[in-house]
Amino acid sequence: MRIDHLINGQAVAGRQYFETVNPATQEVLAEVAAGGAAEVNAAVQAAKDAFPAWAGRPATERAALMRKLGELIARHVPEIARTETTDTGQSISQTAKQLVPRAADNFHYFAEMCTRVDGHTYPTPTHLNYTLFHPVGVCALISPWNVPFMTATWKVAPCLAFGNTAVLKMSELSPLTAARLGELALEAGIPAGVLNIVHGFGADAGEPLCAHPDVRAISFTGSTATGHRIVKAAGLKKFSMELGGKSPFVVFADADLDRALDAAVFMIFSNNGERCTAGSRILVQKNIYADFAARFAERARRITVGDPLMDTTIIGPMISQGHLAKVRHYIELGTKEGATLLCGGLDAPELPAHLAKGNFVKPTVFADVDNRMKIAQDEIFGPVACLIPFEDEAEAIRIANDTAYGLSSYVWTENIGKAHRVAAAIEAGMCFVNSQNVRDLRQPFGGTKASGTGREGGTWSHEVFLEPKNVAVSM
């Protein structure tokens, strides 16, 4: 299979191609066009040319096209989920039941939202002030390899629905489903040039896209290091930066432990642990710590690692050999730093012969982790849990905030006052109380500190995809 760029509604061949592989088997899935400045320039020009007509269409017309695209995605869930699972190694139970259906929901949701953009009025005795919201123009949308289809649609849907045009750049490690998105967008009737896709590597395609003077806004999801590079290269533009995380999952002694254990396991091991909002630092109050650690490790040992296309698999392969090496490095480091390995580790999981070359790692649990250890400070982005004991509420908050990151957080207690106090005190963009991460499309999604800037979701997406203008009329 060959994957080309999508520029102005046309498949555009690459000057060079690279391979994308199935991380469970290393089988080559496709040859993918490797874009550079020339393709970026052509795509931005196409988006710029398409912008006036698209922005000028009534929101109800754009909404109808967004709905049509949502319906097409919903109709193709099994096919898209299979492609996504084969390209990324994320289990089919997640892609087919959660992630691809949610991508369809993103289009339905923002179809509704774009017809409800309303302004404000600030009347004074001398002036009537009111707000107009304009689309910003050409937007660069840059997506990582984890949950790539859902993340791309989380950006494309509001961007287009609000009247902007886009150049989408997927991760070089997971380009397949976005290519399908481009085809379905055209099939839905979205005009040529409104959604363009340039494939390729970050430095070759991503950086010139972000630096392009005709790009007015950048919605980026990826690592903190890349976020820094983009801000430097891009200059003065609107930004939404959804970056890395090392989120605390705080369990007090008075929590409903069975539910907390289930949620803790889900938040670090589902999606292969390759999840920005992973509850990767599990803080447990000392008087329940030993019991919690034993029960958590017991659950982790029962997790099925294997073929991501099997419905029963929870953990599939890591996205790439390079990423597997990174995860393994941290497992080795954990032992060197003095943490106690409760389960998992460096031994390869037992797997059928066809998966022998896959990037697999066992779910790994470290206990007695000191929050200053590198395994507790660095984002591992794999199925590696760190259990950290704490004494009381004050210490839980101190440890929770002792991190460069601030994306998500989780608090488990039956004491309602404590729940609110701790939720307020944790430095993070999101806090879930007695709950795993449950997404509501209206909520502000994003982080603080090294986890990023800006929020997306609901009216929060206005920040990046709409430009407010105040009009003051003299009375």
Active site residues: 242
Distance CA 166, CA 178 (A): 13
- Closer by beta carbon to ligand NAD, 145 or else 412: 145
Q: Are 249 and 264 in contact (CB under 8 A)?
A: yes
Please report which residue ranges of 57-196 form alpha helices under DSSP H: 59-75, 77-88, 92-94, 100-114, 148-161, 176-188
Within 13 A of 127's CA, how many CA atoms are on the CB side? 8
Least distance between ligand NAD and beta carbon 394 (Å): 28
Distance CA 412, CA 436 (A): 10
**Which residues are at the interface with ligand NAD (CB under 6 A)?**
142-146, 169-172, 201-203, 206-207, 210, 221-223, 226, 229-230, 242-245, 276, 379, 381, 407, 447, 452
Residue with tokens 């039956």: 414
Alpha carbon 402 to its chain centroid, in Å, reads 23
Map residue 308 onto helix, strand or coil.
coil
Least distance between ligand NAD and beta carbon 87 (Å): 13
* 97 DSSP assignment: I
CA 326 → CA 216, 322, 435, distances in Å? Answer: 35, 6, 29
Least distance between ligand NAD and beta carbon 342 (Å): 24
Amino acid residing at 185: A
Least distance between ligand NAD and beta carbon 459 (Å): 18
- Closer by beta carbon to ligand NAD, 170 or else 426: 170
40 pairs with which residues across the strands? Answer: none
Least distance between ligand NAD and beta carbon 272 (Å): 12
Map residue 49 onto helix, strand or coil.
helix
Q: Are 154 and 439 in contact (CB under 8 A)?
A: no
- Closer by beta carbon to ligand NAD, 317 or else 447: 447
Least distance between ligand NAD and beta carbon 447 (Å): 6
- Closer by beta carbon to ligand NAD, 163 or else 279: 279
Sign of CA dihedral 25, 27, 33, 35: positive
- Closer by beta carbon to ligand NAD, 18 or else 133: 18
Least distance between ligand NAD and beta carbon 380 (Å): 10
Within 13 A of 150's CA, how many CA atoms are on the CB side? 20
Distance CA 296, CA 301 (A): 9
- Closer by beta carbon to ligand NAD, 307 or else 378: 378
Least distance between ligand NAD and beta carbon 193 (Å): 21
Indicate left, alpha or beta for 381 from its phi (over 0: left) and psi (-120 to 50: alpha).
Answer: left
- Closer by beta carbon to ligand NAD, 106 or else 413: 106
- Closer by beta carbon to ligand NAD, 96 or else 241: 241
* Integer-rounded Cα radius of gyration of the chain: 23
Map residue 389 onto helix, strand or coil.
strand
Distance CA 363, CA 268 (A): 9
Among 109, 110, 179, 186, residue whose Cα is nearest residue 148: 179
Beta-strand runs (E) in 286-403: 340-343, 364-367, 384-390
